Amino acid sequence: MIDKTLPTVEAAVADIHDGASVMIGGFGTAGMPDQLIDALIVQGARDLTIINNNAGSGEAGLAALLKAKRVRKIICSFPRQTDSHHFDALYRAGEIELELVPQGNLAARIQAAGAGLGAIFTPTGYGTLLAEGKETREINGRHYVLEYPIHASFALIKAQQGDRWGNLVYRKTARNFGPIMAMAAACTIAQVAKVVPLGTLDPEGVVTPGIFVQRVVTTASAIAVAA
């Protein structure tokens, strides 16, 4: 019998090693797997490369991981926010490496990794500072930049419901990076509000098929959800 569910978030993140590359889902706090991140902080892995859209805000989740100085490098599109002070301080002190990627290229590179592509040609960023030094090509009269896939050892994502095969459905705009990060990581760990019996999720409505998910753990998110 396949059973990808784990009893605790601690067990789910136990083998994330020093120096690991870790994708973390979420756009701001929507879809941020806060309980998995908290468990990772307790677990203690360091020198991590984190892939996320942002670089943490406020004090919780990714911001707390940064504050604990566990992150060597962050790959993201929008690090600077009004309350990204933990990232800002590390960046100004030269204690964190930043790879800034246009948001759509971030998504496309993650998706390319999950889909087994060797690289992509993207029009986004052509002629800008973020394409400097990169190979370009003109295809049918349009200019493109060569970008490589972003792989990761682990992905920490948040979904609404999952089953023991790892099938997932999401909630509203918390879906954001979850489905593509699940594809791109060697080991995807999903924090879900509820584990449901196999067969409960409508097969037509499964957003992430279980093949992309290795671990499922039920936990109450601290990010309050109305209704």
Number of residues interacting with another protein: please give it, by CB under 8 A.
52
Question: Min. distance of Cβ 114 from another protein in angstroms?
Answer: 9
* Contact call for residue 60 and another protein (CB under 8 A): no
Q: Per CB under 8 A, which region of 9-17, 37-45, 176-184, 194-202 contacts another protein?
A: 176-184
x-or-dash string of contact with another protein, 142-171, rule CB under 8 A: ----------------------------xx
| Residues 98 to 127 in contact with another protein, rule: CB under 8 A | 98, 100-108, 110-111, 122-127
Q: What is the 3-state secondary structure (H, E, C) of the chain?
A: CCCCEECCHHHHHCCCCCCCEEEECCECCECCCHHHHHHHHHHCCCCEEEECCECCCCCCCHHHHHHCCCEEEEEECECCCCCCHHHHHHHHCCCCEEEECCHHHHHHHHHHHHHCCCCEEECCCCCCHHHCCCCEEEECCEEEEEECCCCEEEEEEEEEEECCCCCEECCHHHCCCHHHHHHHEEEEEEEEEEECCCCCCCHHHCCECHHHCCEEEECCCCCCCCC
**Binding of another protein at residue 52 (CB under 8 A)?**
no
Q: Which amino acid, residue 115? A: A
Is there binding between residue 80 and another protein (CB under 8 A)? Answer: yes
- Are 123 and 153 in contact by the 8 Å Cβ rule? The answer is no
| Interaction between residue 31 and another protein (CB under 8 A) | yes
Interface with another protein, residue 128, by CB under 8 A: yes
Which of 6/100 has CB closer to another protein? 100
Only segment of 5-13, 14-22, 63-71, 75-83 that touches another protein (CB under 8 A): 75-83
Taking the C-alpha atoms of residue 115 and residue 183, their distance in angstroms, rounded to an integer, is 7
- Tell me which of 69, 137, 172, 194 binds another protein, using CB under 8 A: 172
In the complex, minimum distance from the CB of residue 159 to another protein, in angstroms, rounded to a whole number: 11
Q: How far is the CB of 126 from another protein (least distance, A)?
A: 7
Binding range to another protein, per CB under 8 A, among 37-45, 64-72, 95-103, 198-206: 95-103
The residue among 45 and 50 lying less far from another protein, judged by its C-beta, is 50
> Considering only CA atoms, which of 131, 201, 117 is closest in space to residue 166?
201
The residues binding another protein (CB under 8 A) are 27-31, 53, 77-81, 88, 91-92, 98, 100-108, 110-111, 122-130, 170-180, 207, 223-227
